[in-house]
Structure 1
């Protein structure tokens, strides 16, 4: 029975046993994230084929994308994601979660297909159109973040809500793995068909003209999972929490959830009127700042720091692959073989570190709590990065390289069994319904600002540096893997500190955590406050 002041429909959602609609919601939202991750991470593999356009005849080394151009290709997607997260986050609170849920998928489908069809009369022309289409792909991917997280959190029950939202995000791991597998299949197929020699054997033949099709196919395959997702998303009902608490239509919320839960639920317009009275304050109001300002700061800062670390990890692994001889020098391979070898190495990391980390989060997040997992992830990444940085010279010697790979793989494990998952989950739980997707979008956008600063900045610095700097510093190349790891270890310390600003949502309803119910809600100083007296509280 719902307690006094709580809507029956929300109580029914909180107490519902795990059933078919939970699984269906995970699949619908998760397939979007599968496509998101595929589109986002396969570009690292695709850029290995950049020497198709930037080969310099007579050069001893194969061509590659200019540093500024590679940074632009990666950075423009992040810029699109920032726009999508902010715009669709606001739209999700203004017009509903479902209304624009299909639109984000359409942008992803069009962005993937058109990226593969990038055109131009010159190399720069092709890359310019690729950047244009990748921007709009990023808008669709970005919009998927606040909408998917919020829809899943508002559909789930309070006992297993964390696991369900984590399961949606875990599809990112399968998307990364799928990108590696498609790259392996496509590059191996073209390599077998055209038998391209190594660059040092025959520079011109090492990159056959047909390889131009390879990167286009890899990009366009990303549209396939998004196509299957579109119809399901259009058939989903609006979440009851938006309908009741934001649109304030108690009868429609009850009707929709009666069909979903297959139970009879009564609409309670008088209760809706009571609990939503005087709650129309915005994210930039003084009332929001007093109630949730520190929570938003914590969510924004943690996601920013995490993405600086996470996307920099993905850039640094390329150097580590080279130092442990997993990926030979580019001049000893054809362009297709280079893409194949990098894809194979990344697939191993995904299977051994990335995927297990996501699924450990699903298993334990509703047992030990979000903050504990986030603290653990930041702390373990800090320790592992310091150890790898301190021992890097000895770990790159023959016979010890496997330990370098193992330790670095564990940094990915604890990123995903840690803040990479929890920073996605908590913003969908700790804010009121009428600003939930907006706050999630702001938090996610801050993360992508961090990603662009981390991934693009590290990439450009590494490619800009020359061999004399590497010799002077003793580092493999650029600013050095060791120096980079020391910087990232310090970022983890900041993540630990900012986590202290966040409340713990485990086992509590969304309304309790955000202060929208008639029960107990946690204030920013950690004290319990009776929300029944909400009219005199600084909400």
Structure 2
């Protein structure tokens, strides 16, 4: 591959750069040009041992058994390395691992934890309102039923607005600003929820519904901001990726996302404790209006304090480096505002991916909200005469615990190259389909007293596979399969379509009975499997820097000139492979191309340094010249000639020029 760029003169002692020969362009890049040590250096940079075997073969190019052996070896080595690091940390300070987990998993997902707390609190509080304010929430005698239903609808609408709006803002202004804005909106929304009131109960319901809408805007923004910032903090900016990004990117993002599950858990625990406190140690009906008021208002006031702290943290502790990768991409493409060109190109080149991330999220949210269908039915069978809300809350607490097991198992396996994102999502959807279709066509059998335990088991298993599958994968995939420039927008759009699935479920469930719901819901799981298999690419083990390299070629109108692993069949969807996207994949050609790119980048940097050095020299010369002139004028003002010129009212310039006109 011959170099056809400009020849740059670095002087008599040019530095040894990435042409790997010690000679400078023009040159021919061949194996003869490289010494053995130089080959090893480039192999370490371009073919890291966590993705390439000892012969420099990419892991996805290896035959199945060799691939399994290689992946297992890398994973075992990484596990041992992490355990040693953990043990060293623990020996130095037993609480250090807790601090590490808090900084790297809890804090990045704190917004989603608060979101999970509040949003799932709405569903938990509704049965309490129906018991404490029966005339309004249950019988709907003094309250407008439209506004009662609007509580669910406006919450979801607010989330949709936030997901799209803040997604665009995140790509336009930056991730850090989006994070601060989300936390601020959520804090104000929680104050509104805590203090919501009305002259009548119907007025209170209206205030409560609009407070949820406002809060939902902040919640919606958390989805694209947490996903993109968590992912990009792992990846970093520039052109060289990190081992941590390649091996643990999915775990890092999923570990932040699972804070949503902890939010649900703590909400349910606190509601149980608060009701026992304000209802005189009893969880049984009837519930006084005072107990209900105190329970729900204090339950919102507690996360308000945490959200205020989150505003502080994101404002003063989250550095501007949260925007580093976005700024790097914009600078590289000379973009100052929102990158509309990248948005247009994404729709054109990645339309199938948009269908995959948005469509699977839609199907998942129908399942996510449909999971509650089991609970009300088996409680009705187990406790047919119960008038208490406590059994529902306690079973929900168990269900959240099962969900957390699914979240954590997803974080452990989501980066495994032999399993990974795509398989996890397909299996999750398929299992949920089975777990819903079985009771749908045997409803009376499984809701009988004799078989209600099997019905309960399906309830908990559907929760587990929802988290250990589509709920976790949709969150990361919707950010990971798109370029940096539009990552937040694409994630926000996908999440918003997902919430349309939640809205579909909320509206649909008001018009059909429970058994019909079981007939309808399973098919969304089957649709999720199809969309995932056909349109979703598998980014497990893919270096996202390579995806940005491919994107640079697409933006330059040279898509077919890219030959790297971002178009490896393993990392493309079935739809993309059928369209021939991966036909230009060529490992050897790409390797030579990457060395060429590194050399050109090095030359640009060296040329920039030379220019900066020359500019600094010129600036220094100008400064010295001006200093000399200034010094001369200062000395001249003390000379007898100038003082004489001043005494004789001669203009200063005449005195300086002198009588003979020779000037300075």
TM range (shorter): 0.7 to 0.9
Q: Does 1:303 align with 2:334?
A: no
Summarize the alignment of residues 302-451 of structure 1 with structure 2, pairs less than 5 Å apart: 302-314=360-372, 316-326=373-383, 328-329=384-385, 333=387, 337-338=388-389, 340-351=390-401, 353-367=402-416, 368-451=419-502
Q: Which residue of 2 aligns with 1:520?
A: 565
Q: Give the stretch that moved more between structures: 521-530 or 94-103.
A: 521-530
For the 8 Å contact 2:131–2:285, the answer to whether it is kept is no
SS at match of 1:29: coil
CA drift of 1:516 comes to 3.2
1:140: which partner in 2?
218
Q: Given the superposition, is the C-alpha separation of residues 115 and 321 from structure 1 closer, same or farther in structure 2, using an over 3 Å criterion?
A: farther
Q: Is the 8 A contact 1:109 1:226 kept in 2?
A: yes
Cα deviation per residue 1:131-170 (whole Å; 9 max; x = unaligned)?
1111111000000100100011112212111111111111
Kindly indicate whether the alpha-carbon contact (under 8 Å) linking 1:85 and 1:142 is maintained by their aligned counterparts in 2.
Answer: yes
Under a length normalisation based on structure 2, what TM-score does the superposition of the two structures give?
0.64
Shift of 1:61: 8.1
How far is 1:97 from its partner?
A: 0.6
Find the partner of 1:232 among 313, 329, 343. Answer: 313
Distance change in 2, residues 1:230/1:197 (3 Å): closer
Which 5+ residue runs of structure 2 have no aligned equivalent? 1-40, 52-77, 86-98, 235-244, 553-561, 595-664
Separation (CA, whole Å) in 1 of partners of 2:200 and 2:348? 55
Task: Report deviation, 1:63.
Answer: 8.3
- Displacement of 1:38 in angstroms is 0.6
Deviations 1:316-342, CA, capped at 9 Å, x for gaps: 14422433325x55xx53xxx42x332
Does 1:163 pair with 2:251? yes
| 1:227 to partner: Cα distance | 2.9
Assess if the C-alpha contact under 8 Å between 2:378 and 2:447 holds in 1: no
- Give the CA deviation at 1:179: 1.3
Superposed CA deviations along residues 41-68 of structure 1, whole A, max 9, x for unmatched, are 01111112323674349xx989898753
User: Please, what TM-score do these two structures have when normalized by structure 1?
Assistant: 0.78
**SS where residue 154 of structure 2 aligns?**
helix
Match status 1:115 vs 2:203: no
2-structure distance, mates of 1:196, 1:236: 42
Q: Hey, what's the Cα distance between the residues in 2 that align with 1:48 and 1:348? A: 18
Moved more, 90-99 or 400-409: 400-409
Structure number with higher relative contact order (C-alpha < 8 Å, ≥ 6 residues apart): 1
Question: Contact 2:361/2:495 (CA < 8 Å) preserved in 1?
Answer: yes
- Identify which range, 161-170 or 221-230, moves more after superposition: 221-230
- Of 137-146 and 396-405, more deviation after overlay is shown by 396-405
Give per-residue Cα distances to partners, 1:276-304, cap 9 Å, x unaligned. 99x9554652x323311111111111111
Q: Which runs of 5+ in 1 are unaligned?
A: 200-205, 249-271, 462-478, 534-539
Instruction: Give the whole-Å Cα distance in 1 for the aligned partners of 2:536 and 2:128.
Output: 43
- 1:226: Cα distance to partner? 2.2
- Residue 348 of structure 1 aligns to a residue whose secondary structure is helix
* Cα distance in 2 for residues equivalent to 1:100 and 1:390: 46
Deviations 1:258-285 (A, max 9, x none): xxxxxxxxxxxxxx469x99x9554652
1:389 to 1:65, Cα distance in 2 relative to 1, 3 A = farther
The one of 529, 536, 540 equivalent to 1:496 is: 529
- Indicate the residue corresponding to 1:253 in structure 2: none
- Give the SS at the match of 2:109: helix
**1:273–1:281 CA distance, 2 compared to 1 (3 A):** closer
What secondary structure sits across from 2:196 in the alignment? Answer: coil
Offset of 1:29 from its aligned partner? 2.0
Q: CA deviation at 1:347?
A: 0.3
Aligned residue number for residue 487 of structure 1: 520
Aligned match of 1:203: none
Asked if residue 457 in structure 1 is aligned to residue 492 in structure 2, the reply is no
Structure 1 position 38 matched with structure 2 position 117 = yes
Deviations 1:467-509 (A, max 9, x none): xxxxxxxxxxxx3333212211111111111112011111112
- 2: CA distance between counterparts of 1:419 and 1:196? 35
Equivalent position of 1:183 in the other structure: 271
For 1:264, the equivalent position in structure 2 comes to: none
Instruction: Output the aligned Cα RMSD.
Output: 3.3
* CA–CA distance in structure 2, aligned partners of residues 386 and 64 of structure 1: 40
Paired residues in the alignment total 464
Once the two structures are superposed, residues 78-105 of structure 1 have per-residue CA deviations (whole angstroms, 9 ceiling, x without a partner) of 1111111111100111111112211101
Say whether the 8 Å CA contact 2:144–2:202 is kept in structure 1. no
Match of 1:473 in 2: none
For the pair shown, the structure with the greater C-alpha radius of gyration is: 2
SS in 1 for 2:566: strand
Counterparts of 1:281 and 1:25, CA distance in 2: 33
Q: Distance between the aligned counterparts of 1:198 and 1:63, measured in 2? A: 21
SS in 2 for 1:445: helix
Answering whether residue 298 of structure 2 is matched by residue 217 of structure 1, we say yes
| Whole-angstrom distance in 2 between the partners of 1:185 and 1:37 | 18
SS in 2 for 1:366: coil
- Going from structure 1 to structure 2, the CA distance change for 1:208 and 1:120 (only over 3 Å counts) comes to closer
Q: Output the CA distance in 1 between the equivalents of 2:333 and 2:201.
A: 60
Residue 346 of structure 2: aligned partner: 288
